Amino acid sequence: MVDGFKITGKRALNGVIPVSGAKNAALPILIGTLVEKGEYIIRNVPNLRDIRVLVKLLEDLGMTVEQINENDYKIINNGFRRNEASYEIVKKMRASFLVMGPMISNLNESVVSLPGGCAIGSRPVDLHIKGFEALGAEITQVHGYIHAKSDNLKGAEINLKFPSVGATENLMMAAVKVPGKTIIGNAAREPEIVDLGNFLIKMGAKITGLGTSSIEIEGVEELHACEYSVMPDRIEAGTYIIASIITDGELKVKDARLDDLGVFKSELEDMGIIFEYEDGNILKINGKLESLKPARIRTIPHPGFPTDMQPQMMLLLSLVNGTSELEETVFENRFMHVPEFNRMGTDISIRHGVAVVSGGLPLSGAEVMASDLRAGAALVLAGLAAEGTTVVNRVYHIDRGYDKLEEKLNKVGAKIERIKLDA
């Protein structure tokens, strides 16, 4: 049996929904505590399945992890206990592969399992590996594991073929203690990279160019532990912004930083949404679903439209009158939600990597299946907007990345019940 959500649709949502710490910043920052010995306090960590998996991995590598209260962790790094990150843990979460950067910088030899693909794409790690090699690591691959010898690293100029978020983060963590200057060209510019970089700078790292496509790192011999608070989750915020638009009532979102969402803000404004901040950090979202215009959007790395908002955006577009188009350019297989949406009454077809959405049809509740994290979140949104009852199966995908999703939505008027279902 697995957990599912039973959602009663068409309820008005009112009040303020809070945004938790960002999964995609908390994961690399917690992994960043492997870079140097000491006692760290990491605050605003979301309560997620992925965080629990990572804590197991950090403990397995020798760290002492104490959850001092719901969202704050103390991590004591007294050095690595072992030099291998096993498949058993890495297979559960791709971000675990980011331990390789700190391992390479601290251990002469290390072994990390290859993460494997997932529903949205094959997701290779060749760019991470090429970068480590440029820093002087000797890499071999045996039985699904990457073995690295890294006793003689030095700064290098690395040009990424694609601005990979994970490769940029892994290479930053590998390079901060490597002698000499490392330049990461065509680096990812996502806000989570900036958050990780600021954490490393707080530890004493010398990094410039964060948020640009050229990151320069001047290696230092030693860093020090620090206290750090993780940024708010921009994808969670975007998901609740869409929840607000597609439901009746006046749902506001607390700690939604629109600037972190790249062109998401201007795309919604072009469709007819007007954003307004109240009391500094409460976002009010104005605009009637019936009067919004359709859109043509393509996902591209930040500051382009975020791929992690694509399924939720598609759901919104399916409720807007007219024909919209959504092109996915970051992951080759991120349209698994389309047949599930269509089971609920949407008219979406995929032509050459572009989803063509004939919007404005009413949704009716159905039994649907989450294939991955954001597809799952988008199906919950569909359930909120649909007539009748929707049952979303396999919500373990959603639990990976949304802190208390049903609890937060129920507090503002939704009716979502966690139930047990056959997988």
Ligand X SMILES: CC(=O)N[C@H]1[C@@H](OP(=O)(O)OP(=O)(O)OC[C@H]2O[C@@H](n3ccc(=O)[nH]c3=O)[C@H](O)[C@@H]2O)O[C@H](CO)[C@@H](O)[C@@H]1O
Active-site residue set:
118
Dihedral over alpha carbons 53, 204, 194, 75 (to 10 degrees): 20
For residue 226, CA distances in Å to 55, 84, 199 come to: 18, 25, 8
HSE (side-chain half, CA atoms, 13 Å) at 28: 27
Residue number with the smallest Cβ distance to ligand PEP: 308
In three-state secondary structure terms, 315 is helix
Asked if residue 220 belongs to a known ligand binding site, the reply is no
Q: Of these, 53, 127, 375, 392, which contacts ligand X (CB under 6 A)?
A: 127
Tokens of 24: 């995609």
Asked if residue 259 belongs to a known ligand binding site, the reply is no
Q: Of these, 73, 199, 331, 341, which contacts ligand X (CB under 6 A)?
A: 331
Residue 7, beta-bridge partner list: 390, 416
Q: Of these, 54, 58, 90, 167, which contacts ligand X (CB under 6 A)?
A: 167
Instruction: Rank residues 219 and 262 by Cβ distance to ligand PEP and give the closer one.
Output: 262
Cα 387 to Cα 256: distance, rounded to the nearest angstrom:
28
Contact 16, 249 (CB under 8 A): no
Distance in Å, CB of 78 to ligand X, minimum:
26
Asked if residue 330 belongs to a known ligand binding site, the reply is yes
Asked if residue 233 belongs to a known ligand binding site, the reply is no
**Could you say which of ligand X, ligand PEP, none residue 104 binds, taking C-beta under 5 to 8 angstroms by partner kind?**
none
Residue 125 binds to ligand X (criterion: CB under 6 A): yes
For residue 64, CA distances in Å to 33, 41, 73, 188, 383 come to: 11, 12, 10, 31, 41
Asked if residue 123 belongs to a known ligand binding site, the reply is yes
Asked if residue 94 belongs to a known ligand binding site, the reply is yes
Cα 169 to Cα 199: distance, rounded to the nearest angstrom:
12
Q: Of these, 126, 138, 278, 407, which contacts ligand X (CB under 6 A)?
A: 126
Binding window for ligand X (CB under 6 A); candidates: 77-85, 163-171, 203-211, 283-291: 163-171
Tokens of 82: 């072992």
**Could you say which of ligand X, ligand PEP, none residue 167 binds, taking C-beta under 5 to 8 angstroms by partner kind?**
ligand X
**Could you say which of ligand PEP, ligand X, none residue 403 binds, taking C-beta under 5 to 8 angstroms by partner kind?**
none
Distance in Å, CB of 27 to ligand X, minimum:
5
Cα 214 to Cα 189: distance, rounded to the nearest angstrom:
9
Residue 308 binds to ligand X (criterion: CB under 6 A): yes
**Could you say which of ligand X, ligand PEP, none residue 127 binds, taking C-beta under 5 to 8 angstroms by partner kind?**
ligand X
Asked if residue 298 belongs to a known ligand binding site, the reply is no
**Could you say which of ligand PEP, ligand X, none residue 336 binds, taking C-beta under 5 to 8 angstroms by partner kind?**
none
Contact 328, 299 (CB under 8 A): yes
- Footprint of ligand X on 332-391 (CB under 6 A): none
In three-state secondary structure terms, 64 is strand
Residues 6 or more apart from 319 whose CB is under 8 A from it? 246, 289, 359, 360, 363, 385
Q: Of these, 107, 135, 165, 355, which contacts ligand X (CB under 6 A)?
A: 165
Binding residues for ligand PEP (CB under 6 A): 24, 94-95, 118, 308, 373-374, 401
**Could you say which of ligand PEP, ligand X, none residue 162 binds, taking C-beta under 5 to 8 angstroms by partner kind?**
ligand X
**Sequential DSSP letters for 65-84:** EEEEETTEEEEEE---S-SE
Residue 297 binds to ligand X (criterion: CB under 6 A): no
Quick one: DSSP state of residue 97?
Answer: G
Distance in Å, CB of 200 to ligand X, minimum:
16
Question: Backbone phi, then psi, for 334, in 5-degree steps?
Answer: -105, 45
Binding window for ligand X (CB under 6 A); candidates: 103-111, 160-168, 171-179, 336-344: 160-168
Cα 285 to Cα 269: distance, rounded to the nearest angstrom:
10
Asked if residue 339 belongs to a known ligand binding site, the reply is no
Distance in Å, CB of 160 to ligand X, minimum:
8
Residue ranges of the annotated binding site for phosphoenolpyruvate are 23-24
The residues of the shown chain that bind ligand X, judged by CB under 6 A, are 24, 27, 94-95, 121, 123-128, 162, 164-167, 188, 192, 307-308, 330-331
